[in-house]
Structure 1
Amino acid sequence: MCRACVSPLIAHPSLFDQPLGFAGLQPIAPTRRGFMALSTAGLLGASLPLIGATRARAASDGTVDTIFKGGTIVPVAGAPAAEAIAVSGGKIVKLGAASDIMALATANTKIIDLQGRSLLPGLIDPHNHTVLSALYLELLTDIGYLKNKTREDVLNNLRQLVANAPEGQWVLVSNFDNLLQGGDLSREVLDSISTKHAIFVWYTNGHDACVNSLALQLAKIPEDIGELPGGSHFGRGPDGKLNGLVYEESGMLKVISAGMPKITPQLATKAINTFLQSVAASGNTLVHEPGTLKSEWIEPFTKIAAQAPVRTSASLMYEDIKGFEPYRKLGLGARAAQLPDTLFMLYGVKIVGDGSNQTRTGAQTQPYLNETFSGTTNFDAAQMKEMVADVKAAGLPVLIHCNGDRTIDIALDAIEAGYGSSSEFGINRIEHATMLRQNQIERMKKLNVEPSFLMNHVTLYGAAYRDQLFGPERANFMDPAGACAKADLRFTLHSDSPCSPVGSLRLMQTAVTRICEIDNSVIGADQTVTAQRALEAITIDAARQLGLADRLGSLESGKDADFTILEDNPLTVDPSKISAIKVSETWVAGEKKFG
């Protein structure tokens, strides 16, 4: 049974209105009027000249397009602090003293006064399930913890959705968190909400759901239904009757197929565009989708990526590795391969090694708190070595999802057997690395393997890890960024959207404070890092882990002009206020995309 970090259920082929559901995706017409206008334009499918062509024209005439000055310019790495920065043709020309940069201006140069704001390299989310997040948010209503703090809030939200739903329409909701919102729901509880509207509640872990009696009836689920393929099954109460809980993809698909509208190209186009606009509004200029973009979606996805407000990037699943073959000519390997006339790139190969610690399916070397079981890996050591060897033979880096420390052991054994300590084909990564041990940090350093932490684990689940899953000692070492910093092991921070909210500033704040917002406790005070180190994790190190260190992640002459402009400086504000800093503008390839 494979529990990925996010279930691909929402992108199952049966939910689309045509065999290659995304084949009809249309390019988005760019707009200067912000989020809502561009979302509307997405429905029109208009086509304008591609970004690459615009950049080529601007770079050829030798002029400086834009100069930014009058604020704090944070280069992060590779350049001294600057008073001004000049951009031309989508590239950084020079940064330094304002007088030197202004000397490059011509009558056609646009001068932007930052008015005291802070300009940083564009923020990068190296693990974000873009397409799944887009469809998930478009088709289901979010009732998660950030919107409903208590059990009663959840139930009241459901009552309101039922009251507003037209007769016969299913109420489809997502992001319910059994750890933070009062435990599992049940058929009985949902029946008390409605017996006239079918209700489907998808858990935030992506692998569980709860439905009411009408949903079971309309989906034609018999009371005596047994186990389905992939370990999927329907929960039962003490009386042996179905209790409304549904586990794993095939069971959830059987139910949701009866109530979800078919995904059309128009709907998918609108959903992806809306989501990427929210990404830009959060300050991110690049998101990387690890494993959930299918190879047959690459070509149609480029139609959207060509006009998207942010850069997009993807790795393919191990099972889909042959899907890279048509793109070999682009130079796949240590450096990300960019598709022509678009800001969409391809990188590595993902393997899902275990499940989620929150559902006790991450594989540990010690049992979970007050339990006798320790989770299971999706593959044994021999299988993992064979898979990693295949990725290495393809000349690509590997990204291995590992929430439990036992899975990390198996993954590192496989990487050492396949790559040794070589990073010739790019940086090999351990995704999440939630329960990483000190000796594994030292081993990763020797093997040139790097972790990427889902730091929202700490702010959302730190108390649950401490009190329900692992106990204080083990929980205090979860997502151990501080220990990595002391060992000089570079790391990145990611959102794993839709498993947690987009926004790299939130990740940065948690890395610096380690505060769990559930009870305001500090989870592992010795695992905090400096604001500078946390900023590097969402800029230059994220760029390196995606094969883009020569193009993105720091403000240096010749690099691409991707900027995030903030109302305050995250390096100097109260660390507990970092996530509250307003994103003023985002610029990608020298063009303003949000603001």
Structure 2
Amino acid sequence: MFDDSHVTANEISTQDWYALSVPPRHAADPFACPCCANVFSELLAQTGVDLADQAKHLTPRTTALENSVFVTQAKIQTMNPDQPTADAMWVVDGRIRWVGEEQDAPVEALAEHKVAAGNRTILPGFIDPHMHLAPLAMLHSFENLGPFRFPRTKDALAYLKQKSADVPAGQWLVGRQFDPSLQEGPDYLTIDLLDEVSVEHPIFIYNASLHLAYCNSAALQLAGVTADTPDPAGAEIGRDDNGQPNGVLKAGPAMALVARHNPHTKTADLAQACLDVFAHANTLGITGLCDQGTGLFQGAKELDLYQGLRDSNRMTVRFRYSLAQAVADRWDEAGCRWGEGDEWVRNTGWKIVSDGSNQGRTGLQREPFLNSDETGIAYIEREELFAAVEQRLADGWAVCVHANGDAAIDNVLDAFEAAAAKGLRADSQRCRIEHCSILHDEQIERMAALGLSPSFLIGHVYYWGQAFVQDVFGIDKASLLDRTGTCEAKGIRWTIHSDDPVTEMNPLRCIENAVTRNMWKSEAKLSPQECISTAAALRAMTIDAAWQCHSDHEVGSLEAGKFADFIVLEQDPLQVEPDALSSIAILQTWVNGELVYAAS
């Protein structure tokens, strides 16, 4: 499936990786997105971990599948407008042979193994069209100390202290998702705070952005980091007023300086961890994922990882991915082409990052941020953006461009308009704007004319909405965030996503966020005029997400000829109150006609 003649991440120097993956001035941004964080690529390079080698050692599945069934007594929402509902479905060899009313079922279906759904609601499996697999696999085994579990930092640290009593002295304690922009407490976790947790265990905690980490004195000691240790190139060791390391590490090279001494780094099986991520996704009703940044973790070796996952015959989600522009020359040397792969693993996009994050004040803006003279950062110059969009469209790629700030979106629209003037239209390849956070009316008009499709990080509204109103933009500009309602009215095809690990994947939570526009720790709604119906939100996470990922011919709706990827829910989302959508239980998840998850 993939070409082996590529340059590996281990052949790229530390300084090169930093230059490729982290724009200037970005390292000190504590609330930035992890898309361009280089900590794990740096850590793997320094410890000699090889994703391709790990993938080769996955034990393949050899057992035969039982994936022919006759599903009855169901409330099926098909997401097929020509046949929106049904109560029975016949699955043969992993594909849907027939769907409709049970009384009209083919005689042959009656001989199949029958599965009675007990009048439960069945939907196509959810598809998250924007997440990051390899970083998520690396983080999966670490303790979640984030705001959605611990709103107060002191509670997170108390939990970690309790955990320290259960593990032998000297064993590392590693945490993730610390986010001072959402957690009540200090902006940084310094030595004095972490030494109160333990001095017998090395402690290492990742900021949710993956651009910073925090460690205690035991971890610094093991790494040999002292006042005399110089800052690595492109990174910074935090220091107190006396020049002593304070436990704060900024950017990948500084973080890896300490993290590489954790023996778990070398022994962790990241290929298996990817399968574990898939299994977790199944518990949330997810049957399809799309990685938006392949290559930023360990270069072209990630393709070998994907191939190993496919060859294992143990995948429980269908996986799509976009290649990162930051390592474009590696993909060109490897001869990568759009659409390579099969129904399980497929290349469906080319990813360009044009700016940073709005909550990190690095999203590129027309006007300065609130109470500031800064307007964010362009991660790619206009001329380079124009050239990349034109070249990749000409090469047949579906181009996906990360753009959060309104000026960044201006640049993206300008680039696609310039390409369209040369006969290279965005709608011919279902091109996307990723996050597409701050949208003005005229930008929506231009998107509609170009045929561009946005995918919204809808958690911005819920988790950061109040901060956008009070601290980042003010109410007028914050009201332009994630304009699903206006795009729906304009007939623009859109989706919503988690960007996990930015927000945790959970389609029903994303759906609730889009339907209600509620804000965390607030009684107010952000731009209630942008609320959409539950039906539209369900469509966004099923057939429309499949369409964005160039997979709607095979998944995304329940109709004859498509793969039998579906979920069974305890309640019908169309019948519950909007505020209760995220609490609906996923009872079963089926992929390729096989039951891959059942609630206990």
Mapping 1:81-100, distance limit 5 Å: 81-100=85-104
Is it true that 1:343 corresponds to 2:350 in the alignment?
A: no
C-alpha distance after superposition, 1:500-536 (max 9, x if no partner): 1111111001100011232343122111111111111
Q: Which residue of 1 aligns with 2:50?
A: 20
Distance 1:119 1:326 in 2: 45
Which 10-residue stretch deviates more, 241-250 or 519-528?
Answer: 241-250
1:507 pairs, out of 510, 513, 521, with 510
Distance 2:330 2:525 in 1: 44
1:304 pairs, out of 287, 305, 309, with 309
Is it true that 1:157 corresponds to 2:159 in the alignment?
A: yes
Instruction: Rate the CA distance shift 1:389–1:470 in 2: closer, same or farther, 3 A.
Output: same
TM-score (norm. length: structure 1): 0.87
TM-score (norm. length: structure 2): 0.87
Q: Report if the CA contact (8 A) 1:121-1:555 is conserved.
A: yes
Q: Percent identity?
A: 31
What is the one-letter code of the residue matched to 2:543?
I
Distance 2:43 2:164 in 1: 28
Distance 1:352 1:94 in 2: 42
Mapping 1:133-212, distance limit 5 Å: 133-138=136-141, 140-181=142-183, 182-184=185-187, 185-212=189-216
2:490 pairs, out of 484, 487, 494, with 487
1:539 pairs, out of 524, 527, 542, with 542
Is it true that 1:434 corresponds to 2:448 in the alignment?
A: no
Q: Report if the CA contact (8 A) 1:15-1:262 is conserved.
A: no
Which 10-residue stretch deviates more, 576-585 or 478-487?
Answer: 478-487
Deviation (angstroms), 1:17: 5.8
Q: Which residue of 1 aligns with 2:13?
A: none
What is the one-letter code of the residue matched to 1:96?
G
Instruction: Rate the CA distance shift 1:327–1:382 in 2: closer, same or farther, 3 A.
Output: closer
Distance 2:361 2:293 in 1: 22
* Structure 2 SS opposite 1:291: strand
Q: Report if the CA contact (8 A) 1:5-1:356 is conserved.
A: no
What is the one-letter code of the residue matched to 1:296?
K
Deviation (angstroms), 1:150: 1.4
C-alpha distance after superposition, 1:200-244 (max 9, x if no partner): 2211122122223333333233425565433x2233456665443
1:313 pairs, out of 308, 317, 320, with 320
What is the one-letter code of the residue matched to 2:348?
Y
Distance 1:165 1:89 in 2: 47
What is the one-letter code of the residue matched to 1:250?
P
Q: Which residue of 1 aligns with 2:357?
A: 356
Deviation (angstroms), 1:467: 1.7
Mapping 1:379-390, distance limit 5 Å: 379-390=380-391
Q: Which residue of 2 aligns with 1:58?
A: none
Q: Which residue of 2 aligns with 1:367?
A: 368
C-alpha distance after superposition, 1:276-327 (max 9, x if no partner): 1000111000011111354323234223233211111111111344665699
Deviation (angstroms), 1:417: 2.1
Instruction: Rate the CA distance shift 1:24–1:98 in 2: closer, same or farther, 3 A.
Output: same
Distance 1:414 1:241 in 2: 47
Which 10-residue stretch deviates more, 251-260 or 16-25?
Answer: 16-25
* Structure 1 SS opposite 2:563: coil
Q: Report if the CA contact (8 A) 1:369-1:471 is conserved.
A: yes
* Structure 2 SS opposite 1:214: helix
* Structure 1 SS opposite 2:512: helix
Q: How many residues align?
A: 558
Distance 2:546 2:322 in 1: 14
Deviation (angstroms), 1:160: 1.8
* Structure 1 SS opposite 2:572: coil
Distance 2:243 2:232 in 1: 18
* Structure 2 SS opposite 1:399: strand
Q: Which residue of 2 aligns with 1:75?
A: 78
* Structure 1 SS opposite 2:363: coil
* Structure 2 SS opposite 1:189: helix
2:62 pairs, out of 48, 65, 89, with 48
Q: Report if the CA contact (8 A) 2:370-2:474 is conserved.
A: yes
Q: Report if the CA contact (8 A) 2:42-2:253 is conserved.
A: no
Q: Which residue of 2 aligns with 1:574?
A: 577
What is the one-letter code of the residue matched to 1:297?
E
What is the one-letter code of the residue matched to 1:21?
L
What is the one-letter code of the residue matched to 1:286?
G
Gaps of 5+ in 1: 29-44, 56-64
Distance 1:348 1:581 in 2: 32
Q: Report if the CA contact (8 A) 1:531-1:571 is conserved.
A: yes
Distance 2:47 2:98 in 1: 50
What is the one-letter code of the residue matched to 2:125?
G
Instruction: Rate the CA distance shift 1:262–1:200 in 2: closer, same or farther, 3 A.
Output: closer
What is the one-letter code of the residue matched to 2:317?
V
Q: Report if the CA contact (8 A) 2:294-2:302 is conserved.
A: no
1:455 pairs, out of 433, 458, 471, with 458
Which 10-residue stretch deviates more, 128-137 or 93-102?
Answer: 93-102
* Structure 2 SS opposite 1:522: coil
C-alpha distance after superposition, 1:81-120 (max 9, x if no partner): 222222222222222222112534243x122211111111
Distance 1:209 1:19 in 2: 20
Q: Report if the CA contact (8 A) 1:364-1:406 is conserved.
A: yes
Distance 1:50 1:316 in 2: 33
Q: Report if the CA contact (8 A) 2:164-2:201 is conserved.
A: yes
Distance 1:76 1:581 in 2: 19
Instruction: Rate the CA distance shift 1:534–1:327 in 2: closer, same or farther, 3 A.
Output: farther
Q: Which residue of 1 aligns with 2:29?
A: none
Deviation (angstroms), 1:183: 3.6
Gaps of 5+ in 2: 1-21, 27-32
What is the one-letter code of the residue matched to 1:25?
A
